[in-house]
Structure 1
Amino acid sequence: MTSARGLVAAQSARFASLDPLLPPAAEPPADGHVITAALADGTRVAGVVSHQCFEPRSTTRLWSAAEVWELMPLVGTTQGMDALLMRWRQLLDTQEIGEDTACVVHWPSRDTRAARAFLDHGLVPLSVLGIRLRTPQQQLPRTLTIRRATPHDLESVLELSLAELEYSSFVGSTIVRPEAAALKRRALADRLAKASPIWLAERDGIAVALAECAIVSSEPGTSAAARLPRGRWGYVNCVSVLPGARGTGIGQQLVAHAHQELHRMGTVGTYLYYNPPNPLSSVFWPRQGYRPLWTVWEVRPASALR
């Protein structure tokens, strides 16, 4: 539709004015439910709502509700987010909604006007996509051994990954489900077998910290292109330090090493997701050079959207 293309173009211009690192606004999915709203001046805004249900054995359910309604707003340069969210609430009134559900919106972190609308409708900033461009970094004194993890390290990697999952479940979107250990074991065993970029920090021969990373390409047609500037990026998926070793600088040393190695692999920068309500990561990651690019606004259950 011409009007949709016009909104996408206007929204791309708005994104560019908000943050030069934002990619252009993505085209809306073709299989979603289209909603529209009229503003006081007669202009119209639109959005596409997608609906997904994740299978019980899906790893996605470790950081997501089982059933998710996600809104992709198309508000162009208008301040029409409030009107669009009201229309979304009306759509949800026609749905049967359970407890293990969520409403989710990804939106540029620097759009504070939209943030006001999200808060007014009951959405909270549970996650942030933080980005760090490749820059020279200070060499830190090394007080521990850092090495690539191998398939023989599965038990140590799993223990550290589950420790991070449990902590994050109190301060973010992750959920410790009964099948969490089995799902994590399967996924990590596969990643270790493929020699994925995963590092362990050891003290006196004991693994005390984990950095589980990946390489992601943001090119036209890829899912990453909707969130990141073009290029080859390092994704810092999970950094975990055992509770008794936190606050000693281990995490900082491990992350500095991971950055160095990911940059050696030809990345233009690194990105990650962290939880603003987390009193550790919300302080730690900005100190490592990350700043918000996208905020993931969420409300659970979905029926709590106002």
Structure 2
Amino acid sequence: MTSARALVAAQSAHFASLDPLLPPAAEPPMDGHVLTAALADGTRVAGVVSHQRFEPHSTTRLWSAAEVWEMVPLVGGSQGMDALLTRLRRHLDAQDVGEDTACVVHWPSRDVKAARAFLDHGLVPLSVLAVRLGTPDRQLSRTLAIRRATSNDLETVLQLSLAELEFSSYVGSTVVRPGAAAVKRRALAERLEKASPIWLAERDGIAVALAECAIVSSEPGSMAATRLPPGRWGYVNCVSVLPDARGSGIGRQLLAHAHQELHRMGTVGTYLYYNPPNPLSSVFWPRQGYRPLWTVWEVRPASALR
């Protein structure tokens, strides 16, 4: 236990040296499988592997493999990632690994030395958690009407959300599964009923873009606290612009409005996930002031881990 605490403390110091926005390293889960390895200099590193299966009609299956092995590395300030990934590969050899599976590791985006180990073992940066701090965007000239979505807009919100889901399935971790529309409809209906911060952009009375957001508090003991600095954050879950309306500045106008409204709600900043392989997202989001904080390294199926 003392060794694990020492690794967590060393890893926290390493995170702070990489990026001032990173929270301290979190304690590993208590119910996972423990991996250990010794490095050439005698340093020991560890990792905890959790194994999850997601229900067939859960929203999680729309952006995740059905079965996931996720490793939380404890490497302190060392470069022991390669050794841990080798141990993870051996651990998987003893498992029944199917096709709809993945191995996942969340790791600070600025740790480029660790990135080498991930790439060597076959993991790819399918998504990043990116953050944006500071004041809202300056007021942009409006060419469309923007309003809060209500329960009466469910079908419109659903179609825009499904358009983003389909596009993302080509360039990231998203999967368009049978019944995806029903799963999305159920989740969106609940969010609209609770008056979640969701906005529609309309041109000539027709909805052409969606910004589906939420408010998340990063406080001690919460999952958000393992990824974000303390505070009240705006989460940009989905921004979708109809294909025929892209490239005309609609997404930027809608997002500027969302930023202003989320700031008015008392948020310290906003965050989102985007896919680096996406040729639109990888350009659009940095231009709106977002920068990577965590990278989600993933390999599918899990058996492809080297």
- Same fold at TM > 0.5: yes
- 8 A Cα contact 1:107 1:296, kept in partner: yes
Structure 2 distance, partners of 1:77, 1:208, is 48
Matched, 1:20 2:15: no
Q: State TM-score, norm by structure 2.
A: 0.99
- 8 A Cα contact 1:134 1:263, kept in partner: no
Matched, 1:135 2:135: yes
Structure 2 distance, partners of 1:137, 1:167, is 27
Shift of 1:179: 1.1
- 8 A Cα contact 1:52 1:67, kept in partner: yes
Residue in structure 1 matched with residue 3 of structure 2 by the alignment: 3
Q: Deviations over 1:128-184 (max 9, x none)?
A: 000000225222110000000000000100000000000000000000001100000
Q: Deviations over 1:3-45 (max 9, x none)?
A: 0000000000000000000000000000000000110001110
Q: Deviations over 1:39-63 (max 9, x none)?
A: 0001110000000000101110000
Residue in structure 2 matched with residue 301 of structure 1 by the alignment: 301
Structure 1 distance, partners of 2:163, 2:27, is 38
Matched, 1:119 2:122: no
- Matched to 1:7, the amino acid is L
Distance 1:136 1:260, change over 3 A: closer
Structure 2 distance, partners of 1:179, 1:224, is 29
- Matched to 1:73, the amino acid is P
Q: How many residues align?
A: 306
- 8 A Cα contact 2:135 2:263, kept in partner: no
Residue in structure 2 matched with residue 37 of structure 1 by the alignment: 37
Residue in structure 2 matched with residue 169 of structure 1 by the alignment: 169
Residue in structure 1 matched with residue 184 of structure 2 by the alignment: 184
Moved segments of 4+, more than 3 Å: none
- 8 A Cα contact 2:136 2:260, kept in partner: no
Distance 1:136 1:265, change over 3 A: closer
Structure 2 distance, partners of 1:166, 1:276, is 16
- 8 A Cα contact 1:65 1:101, kept in partner: yes
- Matched to 1:296, the amino acid is V
Structure 2 distance, partners of 1:237, 1:152, is 20
- 8 A Cα contact 1:134 1:270, kept in partner: no
Uncovered stretches (5+) of structure 2, i.e. residues with no partner: none
Structure 2 distance, partners of 1:134, 1:218, is 17
- Matched to 1:300, the amino acid is R
Structure 2 distance, partners of 1:101, 1:233, is 31
Structure 2 distance, partners of 1:137, 1:154, is 28
Q: Deviations over 1:211-249 (max 9, x none)?
A: 000000000010100000000000000000000000000
Structure 2 distance, partners of 1:137, 1:29, is 39
Write out aligned runs for 1:1-306 (5 A). Answer: 1-306=1-306
Structure 1 distance, partners of 2:174, 2:204, is 31
Structure 1 distance, partners of 2:50, 2:9, is 21
Uncovered stretches (5+) of structure 1, i.e. residues with no partner: none
Q: State TM-score, norm by structure 1.
A: 0.99
- Matched to 2:185, the amino acid is R
- 8 A Cα contact 2:16 2:22, kept in partner: yes
Structure 2 distance, partners of 1:181, 1:107, is 32
